[in-house]
């Protein structure tokens, strides 16, 4: 079956994408690694000794960056529905984050210890039906926000990918209800035409935490 013109155009952009080529050249598993590096360079997310949870970790690009920047000092736990090839210094849990059993496994692995940084690059399997895909996306990030609000230490940080459009303002309001500061980041490695942005929440609001 011949590829559609749309598929061929995507493939051409992907193959010739600067960050795709850089990821291949530098040994990163995804171009998304450069998004996290750029945000960290600006906002200083990582510091040695942190406990970091990566939700939606596959194929492992963000975990690679986290491992590099923690310099072997700290703990990184990645979770994804897909299998992720091992990365030194990273623990992986394979499973569906929306399932209570998998969430409980992640929480049990934390052994009651608070988390310093939650990073989330999750996205649902795309159906091509925009309203449905957008709703699924926000369902996932709402679950991620609940997890972060529950497990982050008071000065913790939450970085999450969202898509502008239906649900964005409501989710932004929810973020502001949990964090003292919420910033929007659009790294250069994000494709200009993509509606994706990253929301960065810092410093939990204790009143909101106590209500959960």
Residue 91 placed within a domain: yes
Residue 48 placed within a domain: yes
Dihedral sign, CA of 16, 17, 19, 24?
negative
Task: Give tens-digit pLDDT for 148-165.
Answer: 999 999 999 999 999 999
For the chain, how far is it from start to end, CA to CA, in angstroms?
Answer: 52
pLDDT band at 211 (very low <50, low <70, confident <90, very high): very low
Report d(CA 47, CA 41) in Å as an integer.
12
Residue 7 placed within a domain: no
Residue 18 placed within a domain: no
Residue 95 placed within a domain: yes
**Residue 71 annotated among the catalytic residues of the structure:** no
Could you give the percent of the chain with pLDDT greater than 70? 90
> Which residue in the list 2, 136, 161, 173 is annotated as catalytic?
161
Report d(CA 110, CA 131) in Å as an integer.
35
The CATH number of the domain where 114 resides is what? 3.40.50.150
Residue 77 placed within a domain: yes
Residue 25 placed within a domain: no
Integer CA distances (angstroms), 83 to 23, 95, 118, in order: 20, 9, 20
């Amino acid at each position: 079956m011949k590829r559609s013109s749309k598929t061929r155009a995507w493939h051409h952009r992907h193959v010739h994408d600067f960050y795709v080529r850089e990821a291949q050249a530098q040994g990163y598993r995804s171009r998304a690694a450069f998004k996290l590096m750029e945000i960290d360079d600006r906002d200083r997310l990582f510091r040695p000794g942190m406990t970091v949870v990566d939700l939606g970790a596959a194929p492992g690009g963000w975990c690679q960056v986290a491992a590099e920047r923690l310099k072997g000092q700290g703990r990184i736990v990645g979770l994804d529905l897909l299998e992720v090839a091992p990365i030194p210094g990273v623990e992986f849990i394979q499973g569906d984050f929306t399932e209570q059993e998998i969430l409980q496994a992640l929480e049990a692995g934390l052994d009651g210890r608070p988390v310093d940084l939650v990073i989330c690059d999750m996205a649902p399997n795309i159906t091509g039906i925009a309203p449905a895909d957008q709703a699924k996306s926000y369902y996932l990030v709402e679950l991620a926000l609940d997890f972060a609000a529950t497990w982050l230490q008071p000065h913790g940080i939450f970085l999450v990918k969202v898509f502008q459009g239906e649900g964005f303002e409501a989710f932004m309001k929810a973020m502001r209800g949990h964090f003292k500061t919420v910033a929007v980041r659009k790294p250069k490695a994000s494709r200009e035409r993509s509606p994706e942005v990253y929301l960065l929440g810092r410093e939990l609001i204790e009143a909101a935490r106590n209500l959960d």
